[in-house]
Structure 1
Amino acid sequence: MGVIETAGLTKAYPGVTALDDLELTVGEGVTGLVGANGAGKSTLIKILLGLVPATSGSASVLGYDVATDGGRIRGLVGYMPEHDCLPADVSASDLVVHLGQMSGLPYAAARERTSDVLRHVGLAEERYRPIGGYSTGMKQRVKLAQALVHDPRLVLLDEPTNGLDPSARDDMLALVRRIGSEFGIAVLVTSHLLGELERVSDHVVVLDAGRLLRSSATTEFLHATGSLIVEVLGRPDADRLLGQALVDAGLVARPAGGTMVEVEVRDDTTPDVVRDVVVDLGLGLVRMQERHHRIEDVFRDGGAGSVQPV
């Protein structure tokens, strides 16, 4: 049995169906839930927490029915909401202690756990400052800390990198990865940024307009395509020159954006041919690597909505 299971799960609002007959199983480790805005990600999380009733179908979390055991589920699950919901005049320490107590921890245990989780998320030195003076990245860390304080068996993280700059985003993704790999807590993390989920997830679930588009191990998304990405420099039309020269050499080549060309691998000699052509043209070879499928290819092939590659 998975940590999350749904069967025929549907949620309809007037004029729109947020989830449409969703059949899904989520296991241990880190599972990425990806979809364009409006794909049904946040609606699914709210149903799993027992906060919103489904129109039809069923769902269970850690073996408990979301329709009848919402309170028990919320005691076993950590939830990091997408929206800004932190009181500005309260310190991170006081807030996380309070929420730990609300999850059933005695006061002493809540204080001890709060100290631990704030240290884990990198807020040990700032924990007594009012949250109103925190940066966006620090606020996201507080939300993550309160989701972990009661030692949950599963955490649901809704767009944890929202509003973060690249450096803070990398830090948050590293924390998400640690939760699944070092802490042994199952994670369901949502994002509309495909590259994030490729980096941290063991498994990826793709939603499109409330329907399941694909659910598979991340490695199955990222298998090799049988082609090379070749990036060169030296002149503005380097990609055009290289592409034509490779075609003249008997290879299949096409533009790949910028100064890059995608070359189909004919046999083991293809990399040598590419190298020799680049040298003959007097161009600089920046990189030559296997092209892999990306999660975004699933959306492109399936005709899904606007999802960003990174």
Structure 2
Amino acid sequence: MSAETASTSMIDPVISTAGLTMDYGRVVALHELSLEIGGGVTGLVGANGAGKSTLIKILLGLQEPSAGSARVLGHDVATASDEIRRVVGYMPEHDCLPPDVNASEFVVHLARMSGLPAAAARERAADILRLVGLDEERYRLLGGYSTGMKQRAKLAQALVHDPSLVFLDEPTNGLDPASRLEMLTLVRRIGTDFGIPVLVTSHLLGELEKISDYVVILDGGHLLRSSATSQFLDATGALLVEVLGGDVERDQLGNALAEAGLTCRPRGAMVTIDPAPDGLDVHRLVRDTVADLGLALVRVQADQGHLEDVFTEGAHHV
């Protein structure tokens, strides 16, 4: 597999790996992974089983790799895992909350375990629970929390000790659309308003387009691509056209444009037009064709790349 890479690192990368491999025998979760990650919000994307959670466990020193090396905030995971866990916040994917403890007690306890004195731990816990939107619910038992509230409580414990780096493993898992958007807004704020580097995993590609400065894509344990999010979303040279109506009107326009010599295909409610030969005014042709057909033009816009396209491109190199 060919991996197109562009380092997300700064002068001193927050995370770096070299030849990192995790071989379970029947399954290779990570295969010679070499990358550098800098500040800001970095999205780690891949389907379930791509190696995302395995990578985080190795970076936290919770799992020993089969081969290769990794450093987090300058610390070698093989020799300084205790120090890494002291300065890194971690939000696990799965539910791990004690049901018979309220959120305030839980977050204070985690703050104390991270070394904060009692008074400072209580103050920090109150601030963080307010930040994540659990201020009014902080004395309720965690066992009575909804999925969205549990995710917020997990995020709070990851932030309470003022970490230098945060790992968020599938923070939107199980959330409805409104709660998902709120969680993504919180994640973005961590990286921008508070200046804490974030590594956030997701199998939902569109989420990471919205909040990440950089994206690392894993596919079957291989690095497929690593670069600034803006490089994924550059204009492709194609156009998207939408007219009022449904599939009938869309196909009517697409067929007419194809007869005029353009290469086009449907994409949802729109028609995608591939880049045309030089000298052809596609916008004028679209306008005139829509008018001739008696259709109502809704929009014409540049077609940008999407993270999904990387998987399609990568499949051709396997």
Q: Bin the TM-score by the shorter chain.
A: over 0.9
Identify which range, 263-272 or 76-85, moves more after superposition.
Answer: 263-272
* Runs of 4 or more above 6 Å deviation: none
C-alpha deviation, 1:76, in angstroms:
0.2
| 1:283 corresponds to 2:282 | no
1:117 aligns with 2:118: no
Q: 1:273 pairs with 285, 292, 310, which one? A: 285
1:258 aligns with 2:265: no
What is the distance in 2 between the residues matched to 1:86 and 1:104?
A: 20
2:76 is the counterpart of 1:65: yes
CA displacement 1:6-25 (0-9 Å, x = unmatched): 01111111211111111010
Secondary structure of the equivalent of 2:135? Answer: coil
Q: Deviations over 1:138-197 (max 9, x none)?
A: 110000000000000100000000000000000000000000000000000000000000
Question: Is this contact kept in 1: 2:43–2:215, CA < 8 A?
Answer: yes
Distance 1:295 1:236, change over 3 A: closer
Q: Distance in 2 between matches of 1:24 and 1:104?
A: 31
Q: Percent identity?
A: 65
Matches within 5 A, 1:56-205: 56-205=67-216
Once the two structures are TM-superposed, the CA of residue 269 in structure 1 deviates from its matched residue by 3.1
Deviation at 1:75, TM superposition (A): 0.5
Q: CA deviation at 1:236?
A: 4.1
CA distance in 2, matches of 1:171, 1:268: 44
2:254, 2:266 within 8 Å by CA — same for their partners in 1?
no
Query: Does 2:60 correspond to 1:29?
Result: no
TM-score by length of 1: 0.94
Secondary structure at the residue paired with 2:140? Answer: coil
Q: Following the alignment from structure 2 to structure 1, what is the Cα–Cα distance between the partners of residues 114 and 284?
A: 61
Contact 1:233/1:259 (<8 A) preserved: no
For the 8 Å contact 2:168–2:198, the answer to whether it is kept is yes
In structure 2, stretches of 5+ residues that fail to align are: 1-11
The residue correspondences of 1:40-59 to structure 2 (distance < 5 A) are: 40-59=51-70
Supply the distance in 2 between the matched residues of 1:283 and 1:133 (Cα, whole angstroms): 54
Distance of aligned partners of 1:225 and 1:61 in 2 relative to their CA distance in 1, 3 Å threshold: same
What is the aligned length? Answer: 303
Counterpart CA distance in 2 for 1:165 and 1:235 is 28
- The offset of 1:287, in angstroms, is 2.3
Distance 1:7 1:287, change over 3 A: same
Q: 1:234 to 1:280 in 2, by over 3 A?
A: farther
1:298 and 2:310 equivalent? yes
User: What do you get for the CA RMSD once the two structures are aligned?
Assistant: 1.4
In 2: Cα distance, 1:130 partner to 1:268 partner: 66
- Aligned residue number for residue 230 of structure 1: 241
- Structure 2: distance between partners of 1:235 and 1:144: 42
- Cα distance between partner residues in 2 of 1:51 and 1:203: 25
SS at match of 1:204: strand
Amino acid paired to 2:61: G
Q: Give the Å deviation of 1:268.
A: 7.7
Q: Secondary structure at the match of 1:68?
A: coil
1:265 CA displacement: 4.3
Following TM superposition, by how much is the alpha carbon of 1:260 offset from its aligned partner in structure 2, in angstroms? 1.6
Distance 2:154 2:246 in 1: 48
1: CA distance, partners of 2:274 / 2:186: 38
- Report the Cα distance in structure 1 between the residues aligned to 2:268 and 2:171, rounded to whole angstroms: 31
Which structure 1 residue ranges, 5 or more long, are not aligned?
Answer: 305-310
Task: Judge conservation of contact 1:239–1:258 (CA < 8 Å) in 2.
Answer: no
CA distance in 1, matches of 2:63, 2:26: 18
Give the Cα–Cα distance (whole angstroms) in 1 for the partners of residues 172 and 246 of structure 2.
38
CA deviation vs aligned residue, 1:121-145 (integer Å, no higher than 9, x gap): 1111111111111111111000000
Asked if structure 2 preserves the Cα contact closer than 8 Å seen for 1:239 and 1:255, the reply is no
